[in-house]
Amino acid sequence: MTNESENTTTARRIAEAIGERIISGELLPDAPLRQDHVAREFHSSHVPVREAFRQLEAQHLVVAVPRRGVRVAPLDTRSVKEIAEMRAALEVVALRNAAPRLTSAHLARIELAMIEGDNAETVQDFEMANRAFHHALVAPCAMPRLLASLDGLQLANSRLVFAMARNAGWRPRPSQDHRVILQALRARNIEQACSLLARHIQTIERLALPAA
């Protein structure tokens, strides 16, 4: 039981470390991930490395390619569209279920994340605040499997944020989209909030496509 727990902890640590490298662009699309190299770097057996790769695949950060092994997932037009369409569909479902449960404390957390994003001075700070904003929007939906899927998609989206920053330069600016989504939720206009959220995610897709 102890070995199993240690393997789980190690797998999570490996997945988080490699995931951050992929998101930041340190590991480029299609870069190979060798199981033996990763095991050596993290001083682990191959068991947690395989589990880490499975976790990264669920987060859409790596792909297992027949006869080519595990590689960093592509960041091309097709991948960007797929991520955006999945996020738009699933996040709207989550928001529609979360919105009736939103309390003043939930709304305060959403607003805080929005303000932190507006005040971000680096792309790293903005990305963390953006991730927190979208998580806070849907957290009360009480649908753990859906939230787990969205967490993975949000990480894939964070990769787009960094790619856009590298290609076009990043300048701090308030997110009007986040502001109007929050306003609709405060007004208890759930359908408007869902429509605004879907449009917001689709806008990100259009901005990301030239960089993909």
154/209: higher pLDDT: 154
Give the integer Cα–Cα distance in Å for 82 and 72.
16
Q: Of the candidates 91, 163, 81, which has an alpha carbon nearest to the alpha carbon of residue 127?
A: 163
Q: What average pLDDT score do residues 73-102 get?
A: 92
* Maximum average pLDDT range among 61-70, 76-85, 151-160, 186-195: 186-195
Going along the chain from its start, the domains and CATH numbers come out as 2-72 (1.10.10.10), 77-211 (1.20.120.530)
State pLDDT tens for residues 23-67.
Answer: 988 999 999 999 999 999 999 999 999 999 999 999 999 999 888
Q: What average pLDDT score do residues 2-18 get?
A: 85
Q: Is the pLDDT of residue 75 over 90?
A: no
Tokens coding 77: 């037009």
> Mean pLDDT of all residues in the chain?
90
Tokens coding 165: 């920053």
Q: Is the pLDDT of residue 1 over 50?
A: no
Residue 78: predicted pLDDT: 86
Phi, psi at 165, each rounded to 5°: -65, -40
Residue 26: predicted pLDDT: 92
